[in-house]
Structure 1
Amino acid sequence: MRKKVETEHGWYRPKGMIADRRGGGIALLLLLAILLINSPAGAAPLADYNNIFFKVANDAGVKYDAFGNDSYNIRFEGYDRGLNALHISTDPAVNFGQVTMTGNQSGTIYATDSGGKGYEDEILLLVGVNGTVPDDFRLHVTADGYTWTPNPERNKAPTSFTYQPVSLDETFTKADLVYGPQTWKPTGNGFSYPIYYGQNISDTTNTFKLMFIDLNAGVLRPNTTLQNQGAVRITYSFENLESSAVFNVYGYCQTSNNGDDMVAWSNSLMPERTPSGYLVNGPSPDQQVLPLSGQQHAPLDIDGDGRYEDLNGNSQFDFSDVILFFNQMDWIAENEPVDAFDFNGNGKIDFGDIVSLFIRL
C-alpha cells in the first residue's frame, strides 16, 4: 500500500490509494490536490484588521525580524489610535501632508512625522492596486533617508543617525501583491477603514491587491538641517498600471510607550484626522489625457467614472475647473479624447458638457 505524500500545502494520496469503487471521486480529489499545490501562497485578504503578522515584498525580507518569522506585527492600541503621527506629503516642508490624486505614472512622495516621540525606527510602504492586475505590471521603488540603531530607552529618538542616499532600489511585480482582494487597510478601527481618501468602503466590488515594502529607513521629527528635513523620500515608477494604485505609509518602533516591536502608526484617511494619501490613476484607455493649454498638470478623474472633472489637475474639483472648461472647450475638442470630457454623454464636446460639469459641483 502506497503512503501519503507530503507537499508544502499538506498531504494527499497518489493515484491508486483510493478504492476504485469511488469512481469519479478519484479524479475529483486529484484535481483538488493539483489546484491546491498550484495556488499562490498568501493570495488572500489580510487575516484581520489588527494584531496580525504580515510579510514584506522585499527580496531580502524584513529589516527588523524581532519575532524570528520574517514578519512584522501590526498592533494598533485601539480605535482611532496611531493615526496622527505619520503623513504622506509631496513636499517635506509640508509636514502634515495632503491628499493627492494624479495621473503621473512616476513621481516622488515623502513619509513625514508630527508625533510626540518624534521618530519611527522604520517606514513601510503599503501599495494597493485596484481591480485586475496585468501580468506585466511593474513598480520600481527607490527610497532614501536616515538609519540608526534603535534607542533602547523607551520612546526616545535616536541620538545619532546616518543618511542613506539609497536605502532601497527594487522592482516589484504582480506576484508581490500577495494580500487581498479587499477594501480596507489595517488599523485599530475595524474592517471599515478605507485604503484611499474618499473611498466608498461599502462598495465591495472596488477591491485592491496589496503589498508591503520595507523602505529600510526611519523618519525623524522635521529638522531643516537634515536631508529632506528628516523625511523618507520615496520615488516610484509604474509600468502597465491599467487601473489605479494607492500608497499608504506605516511606522515600526522597536521600543515605545505603546509596546515593543510594533507597527502601530499610519497616515489618516479621515477628514477629522488631518488626512493624507496618494492615488495614481492609470492612463486613459483611449489615450493619455494632456495638460490643457497653459496648465502644468494633466486633468484627473477624481471619482473613477472615466470623466476627467479635475481639469487643472490640482486634485480638487471646484468652480475653477468649470471656468477652465468654458475657456478651453475648443482646445479640448481638438486635442483630448472625447470620452474623457463628454459629461453629458452625447458623443461630442459642446456647451452641454460645461453645464453637466457645473451640475456635478
Structure 2
Amino acid sequence: MEKQKRSMRKSIGIAVTALLVIAAFGILPASATPLMDDWNNIVPDFANSIRFSTYEINWTLDYDGINALHISYDPVNAPAGDINESGNLAGTFYVTDTGGRKFQDDIVLLAAVNSTNEEISIKLNCSGYQWDLTGEGFAPPQDDVDFNYSALNGSFSNSDYAKNGDEDDVFQNWKPGVHGIGDVGDYPIFDGSSDNCYLLFVESNVGTFNNGTSLLNNGSVRVDYSISGLDSDETVVFNAYAWNNMTRKTNGALKFDNPGIRWTNNVTGTTESSVWRVTAP
C-alpha cells in the first residue's frame, strides 16, 4: 500500500511539474492555437468599420476566385502583380484587377503579423475609386466614379487583431481561400511559410475599376503603409480580398445575385501569383 502511495505521489509530482513548464514557457498543444472558425461561409472580424453590409466570405466549388485580383508594385506595367518582398518598413503597393468584369466594388486588405510585440503599429492610407453600387451587377459608367485620395487613413495595433467565435486573437498560417476549382483546404498566407500570424482584416473603402481610360493608377487601389514595432526578421504579409454587391460573368450572365467576398490574390503556383511581404531588417 505504501508503495502505491509513493507511486501516486510521484505521478502527481510529474504532472504538476509538466504544468509548471507549460505555464513558464507558454507551451500549448497544437489544438489550442486559436484559429478562424472556418475558411468559408464566415464573416471575418474587421479591424475597422465596413462600408456595406453582409461581408461574408463565400467560396463555391465551381468558382475559385483567384484569377483576377493581384498585388503589384506597378499597376500600369505589371498589373498581374508578383511575389514582392521588401525590407522597407514604409512603402507602397497596389491592389489590381485584371478580370473580365473590369471592376470590384470594394477591396479588403489582410495584414498578417508574425510578431508577438505588443507595440506593433501599422499605418495605412488607401486611395482609389468609389461609386454607387449598381443593382444589376455591371460596372458603373466611368463618369460615375470618383477618386478618393484618402478613403482610409488609420493606424492599427494588436488590439485590432481578428478574433474568432471564442473571442481569442486568431493565430494561424492560412487565409480563407481556395486552391482552384473544386480544390479546398488551408490556403497559405505566404507560399512556403508555415509561420503563424495574427490577422488584421481592413476595409479600404475603395474598389478597383479598370473599365475606362486615363484612370489614376490604372484604376487600382493604392496602399501606402508604415510599420513600427517589428523586431529583426519579423514580418507583415499583405493579401487582398474583393467584395461585390452582385456578380456577373464576363459574358453578362448572372453568377451571384447576393453580396459576398469571393476573390483573393493567388499566392501559390508559378503564374499570376502575387503577395507583399515586409521583413524587418
Equivalent position to 1:50, from 30, 40, 49: 40
User: 1:237 aligns to what?
Assistant: 226
Unaligned runs of 5+ in 1: 1-42, 67-71, 284-361
Q: 1:87 aligns with which of 50, 56, 70?
A: 70
Pairing 1:257-336 to 2, within 5 Å after superposition: 257=248, 258-259=255-256, 260-283=258-281
| CA apart distance, 1:197 | 3.0
Instruction: Select the residue among 114, 117, 136 that pairs with 2:98.
Output: 114
Alignment CA distance shift 1:198-1:103 (3 Å): same
Following superposition, the deviation at residue 141 of structure 1 comes to: 0.2
Task: Determine the structure 2 residue equivalent to 1:158.
Answer: 140
Kept in 1: contact 2:46–2:162 (CA 8 A): no
Residue 192 (structure 1) aligned to one of 186, 189, 193: 186
Specify the alignment match of 1:256 in structure 2.
Answer: 247
- 1:170 corresponds in structure 2 to 154
Conservation of the 8 A alpha-carbon contact between 2:125 and 2:150: yes
As a proportion of its length, which structure holds more strand? 2
- CA RMSD in angstroms, aligned pairs only: 1.7
* C-alpha separation in 2, matches of 1:192 and 1:97: 22
Q: Identify which of 53, 76, 89 aligns with 1:65.
A: 53
- The within-5 A match list for 1:88-107 is 88-93=71-76, 94-107=78-91
Distance 1:45 1:192 in 2: 11
Q: What corresponds to 2:7 in structure 1?
A: none
Say if 1:53 and 1:74, in contact at 8 Å, map to a contact too: yes
- In the alignment, what sits opposite 1:3? none
**Secondary structure at 1:229 match in 2:** helix
Q: Kindly indicate whether the alpha-carbon contact (under 8 Å) linking 1:87 and 1:267 is maintained by their aligned counterparts in 2.
A: yes
Q: Are the equivalent residues in 2 in contact too, given 1:219–1:231 (CA < 8 A)? A: yes
Secondary structure, in 3 states, of the residue corresponding to 2:43? strand
Aligned mates of 1:231, 1:74 — CA distance in 2: 22
Q: Normalising to structure 1: TM-score of the pair? A: 0.60
Q: Distance in 1 between matches of 2:34 and 2:88?
A: 29
Shift of 1:178: 2.3
Measure the CA separation in 2 of the matches of 1:211 and 1:252. Answer: 16
Pick which of 82-91 and 188-197 moved more. Answer: 188-197
Amino acid paired to 1:64:
F
Letter in 2 for 1:105: L
- Separation in 1 of the partners of 2:109 and 2:124? 10
Report the alpha carbon displacement of residue 135 of structure 1 after superposing the two structures with TM.
1.3
CA contact (8 A) 2:94 2:222 kept: yes
Deviations 1:146-170 (A, max 9, x none): 000111113x111211111110000
Q: Counterpart of 1:252 in 2: which secondary structure?
A: strand
Amino acid in structure 1 at the alignment position of 2:204:
L
1:73 alignment partner, SS class? coil
The 1:239–1:207 alpha-carbon spacing in structure 2 relative to 1, beyond 3 Å, is same
Q: CA deviation at 1:78?
A: 2.2
Q: What is the CA distance between 1:211 and its match in structure 2?
A: 1.1
Structure 1: which amino acid aligns with 2:130? Answer: T
C-alpha separation between the residues in 2 aligned to 1:193 and 1:233?
A: 25
CA gap 1:63/1:100 in 2 versus in 1, 3 angstroms: same
Q: How many residues align?
A: 227
Q: For the Cα contact (< 8 Å) 2:93–2:223, is it kept in 1?
A: yes
Q: Deviations over 1:52-81 (max 9, x none)?
A: 1112101xx111124xxxxx1000122770
The 4+ residue runs of structure 1 with deviation greater than 4 A are none
Larger radius of gyration: 1
Contact 2:120 2:157 in 1 (8 A): yes
Corresponding position: 1:145 with 2:134: no
What's the % identity of the aligned pairs?
32
| Pair 1:79–1:172, CA change in 2 (3 A) | farther
Q: Is the 8 A contact 2:178 2:186 kept in 1?
A: no
3-state DSSP of counterpart to 1:228:
helix
Post-superposition Cα deviations, 1:7-60, rounded to whole Å, max 9, x if no partner, equal xxxxxxxxxxxxxxxxxxxxxxxxxxxxxxxxxxxx9421111111112101xx
1-side partners of 2:109 and 2:275: how far apart? 12
CA displacement at 1:270 relative to structure 2: 1.3
Q: How far is 1:224 from its partner? A: 4.6
- SS of residue paired to 1:209: strand
Identify which of 194, 197, 205 aligns with 1:208. 197
TM-score by length of 2: 0.77
